[in-house]
Amino acid sequence: MTDPADRLAGRFIVIDGPDGAGKSTQVALLGDYLEGAGLAICRIRDPGGTEIGDRIRDILLDPGHEKMCAPCELMLYMASRAQLADEVIRPALAAGRCVLGDRYVSSTIAYQGAGGVPTEAIAVAARIAVGDCMPDLTVILDLDAEAGLARAGRAGRADRVEAKHVEYHRKVRQMFLAQARAAPATHTVISADAAIEQVHEQLRRTVETWQWK
């Protein structure tokens, strides 16, 4: 990358994928790399990222809320996201910063879609919540459900979503991959079944060579 400020300033990049794929790690590594190259970065996590959003996040991930239905999840995720877009993402993009996100609308399509919510309904809710505040590039870190859940278990965490049965997580993975197939101009897939540094290198090359629209 000869000049990341020119190529990536004002761009919105999301790293997404199934549980255990290493999204947070890769967001941190890519953010550090781009900052080291001189680019102003705004890092976000979804759900959360604002005072209101963090309170919603606590509700969403609480293992005690196992009775939460998919439409309720959908509305809560979108509420958190609406606040994040208004309070953080739009101002950062307007200031010429590169927004680097850990999950976004693509996660809701995958997780709530796998839970039975029609993708058309999710798209309508997303338009209400964030309007045109959508990523320029969504990178799906792909990993099969069994491997992802095993990684999450070794990390010692089991939130309400991760505790769901493996067949649900298989559907989630397929929903992520379907999004990439449907929108190749704004989505790409990177295998997360490799060493952390190998995944980072591929992610870095992808961002450096992406043909931005």
6-51 per-position pLDDT tens digit: 789 999 999 999 999 999 999 999 999 999 999 999 999 999 999 9
Confirm if 48 and 168 have CB atoms less than 8 A apart: no
pLDDT category of residue 190 using cuts at 50, 70 and 90: very high
Neighbours of 52 (CB within 10 A): 15
| Predicted local confidence at residue 75, as pLDDT | 95
Residue 55 main-chain phi, psi, to 5 deg: -70, -40
Q: How many domains does the chain have?
A: 1
Residue 101 counted as domain residue: yes
| Predicted local confidence at residue 213, as pLDDT | 76
Residue 19 counted as domain residue: yes
CATH number, position 134: 3.40.50.300
Q: What is the DSSP letter of 63?
A: T
CA-CA distance, 137 to 11, in Å (whole number)?
8
What 3-state DSSP class applies to 13?
strand
Residue 213 counted as domain residue: no
User: What is the average pLDDT across 183-205?
Assistant: 97
Please check the confidence at residue 62 and state whether its pLDDT lies above 70: yes
User: What is the average pLDDT across 162-183?
Assistant: 90
Residue 176 counted as domain residue: yes
| Predicted local confidence at residue 152, as pLDDT | 72
Mean pLDDT of the chain: 91
pLDDT category of residue 1 using cuts at 50, 70 and 90: very low
Domain range spanning residue 57?
Answer: 4-208
* pTM of the predicted model over 0.85: yes
Neighbours of 160 (CB within 10 A): 16
Question: Which residue type does 54 have?
Answer: D
What 3-state DSSP class applies to 191?
strand
